[in-house]
Amino acid sequence: DHVAVEAVENGRLVKLPLEFEEMGWQANVDVLQHQRHSNLAVFKVLRHLLRNLL
């Protein structure tokens, strides 16, 4: 089973129809990196930039 099956079934994730292959999932900005590294300044800045683009 895919790791996101339960999240899709519960409606927490949705599959998006995109024209690019293998890009059918939209990830939450906060889970783009491992939790162990999430407090590093570079990832904080990246999350901030991505949130403003979405």
- Mean pLDDT in order along the chain per 10 residues (54 residues): 80 70 52 66 82 74
Using DSSP, state whether 18 is helix, strand or coil: coil
Residue 6: predicted pLDDT: 87
Continuous H helices in 1-54: 5-9, 41-53
Residue 34: predicted pLDDT: 60
Distance of CA 15 to the CA centre of its chain: 12
Task: Quick: pLDDT tens for 41-50.
Answer: 887 888 788 7
Q: What residue type is 27 in one-letter code?
A: A
